[in-house]
Structure formats: C-alpha cells, structure tokens
Amino acid sequence: MSRRLSLLAQRTAIVLALGLFLAPVLWLIMTAYEPSRAIQSTPPLLWFKPSFANFASIASNFDLSRLTLSSVVLSAGSTLLSLCFGIPCGYALARTRSRSAVIIAYALLAIRGVPTVVTLIPFYLFMQRLGLLGTWWAVILMNATLSTAFVTWMMFSAFQAVPPEIEAAATLDGCTSFGAFRRVALPLVQTSVIAAALLCMMFAWNDFLNPAFLTRAETRPLSVALLTAFGGNTTSGWGNLGAMAHLSTLPIIAVALLLNRYLVSGLTRGIH
C-alpha cells in the first residue's frame, strides 16, 4: 500500500512539474490561434474558434523566408565553427594526462556561464573595427566564441571515455596520429558530437541579444523579429507575437525531436 502511495505521489509530482513547464507553451499555441477579441477577453476564453488571422498578418508584414534564412545561417555557421575548434581542443585536453587539463576544461565551461552583456560591448567595438558589424559573421563569431568553450568541455569528457590503447593499436597498424583520431576516436564519440551540435544550434537559434545589437534589418533572424512582431500594440500585438514565436520554435523543435535519441547518450558519455 505504501509503495502504491509513493508511486502515486511520484506520478503526481511529475504531472505537476510538466504542467508548470508546459503551461507557457500551451499559452503560446493558444495565443497564436486566438482572434484578437478572444485574447483581450476577461476572463480568458478556454474554448474559441481557431483563427489563422495572426499568421496571415505575420506573413504580410514580415519576410519570413529571409528571417528564416538568417536564423539558419547564424545557427549553422556558429555550430560548425564551434565544432571545428571544440572537437580537436577537447581531444587534446583529454589526451593530456594531467590535473591542469581538467582545470582548463572546467574553466572553459565556466566561460559559457559569463553573461552575454559582459562581452557584448567589447565585441561590438571589435566587429566595428573589423568592418563586420551588421553582417552574419559578427553574430557567428560571437556565438562560436562562447559555444567553442562548451563544446571543448563536452568533447573532453567524451574522449576521456575512449581508451588511448585503441588509438595506439591503430598507429601500430600504420595509421598516423591524425588518422587514429579521425578513424578511431572520433567515430566512438559520434553521439557526443551530435549532442554538442544540437545544443550549439539551440543556443544560436534562441539567441536574441547578440543579433539585436550586431545585425541590421537585412540580416536579422527570427528571434529579433519577435520584438518587432509585438510592436507595443496591446490589441493585436499578442496575437502576432504568438504566431511569430510559434513559427520560430517549430524548426528547432523538429530538429531536437529527430536527434533526441542522441542527446541523452551524448551528454552522459564520459561523465564520472
């Protein structure tokens, strides 16, 4: 009997926690399909006739193809750049058998926790001097700088779980050091690479502050367009905001669902 009560309490706690976290998502979906009159009604209407007027307003007032292209370019560019630097750095730290390597790895992880506003102003001035302000490269380099530290820490943990003896055996068979890394070690941490790529893509896709300051109208992504969609209009602004947020979250949710099975195994690999 006590076991059943304990199981019931656990399930109740899980349902309440899910409800707490899913409530904003449900509100977002409802707002996207609610007519303006239903959004402003007091008390709120739980049952209403779905309307696509908010999506039509967004499609007529925003160049969604350009905004989506900017988001894809910024996310993919920063992710690829972070992986190109983070994977070899993590491998080098993992093969450096010393306490200093562990300290460096966790110091790099701490860099990811630095608030963006701390580095935004100096990076803004740096990009301005290089002539990259207002371009995609400014945001890509900014996001890649922060995400590379995170990727390095993840790959350090993953490569530590790969025995060096496997690579030594490959070198005895005539494989070079780089060949042993590319053909032996890297395939063994494939799930961690996918997990790191997915997280970097999510960081970049959801980033608002960096694109808001480092891009111009032609290069702004969907995350910055959300603020423009609201526009301070309390009558139709919430509906436009819900529709724009709905459209901007669908691509990254689809990618996360497709690669979900790699995420948990990739994050837990090498953790001890």
Q: Which domains does the chain have, with CATH numbers?
A: 61-268 (1.10.3720.10)
DSSP-assigned beta bridge partners for residue 134: 215
- So what's the pLDDT on residue 108? 81
- So what's the pLDDT on residue 48? 67
- So what's the pLDDT on residue 69? 92
Q: Is 210 exposed, middle or buried (0-12, 13-18, 19+ CB in 10 A)?
A: buried
* Residue 225 to residue 223: CA distance in whole angstroms: 5
- So what's the pLDDT on residue 204? 92
Backbone φ and ψ for 41, nearest 5 degrees, come out as -70, 145
Q: Before 164, cis peptide (omega within 30)?
A: no
With a cut of 50, list the residues of the chain below it in pLDDT.
234, 271-272
- So what's the pLDDT on residue 139? 93
User: Which tokens belong to 38?
Assistant: 């239903």
* Residue 33 to residue 53: CA distance in whole angstroms: 8
Among 36, 31, 60, 57, smallest CA distance to 46 is for 31
- So what's the pLDDT on residue 138? 93
Among 184, 186, 201, 189, smallest CA distance to 258 is for 201
Tell me what the pLDDT averaged over the chain comes to.
83
- Region class of 60: left (phi > 0), else alpha (psi between -120 and 50), else beta: alpha
Among 28, 95, 7, smallest CA distance to 230 is for 28
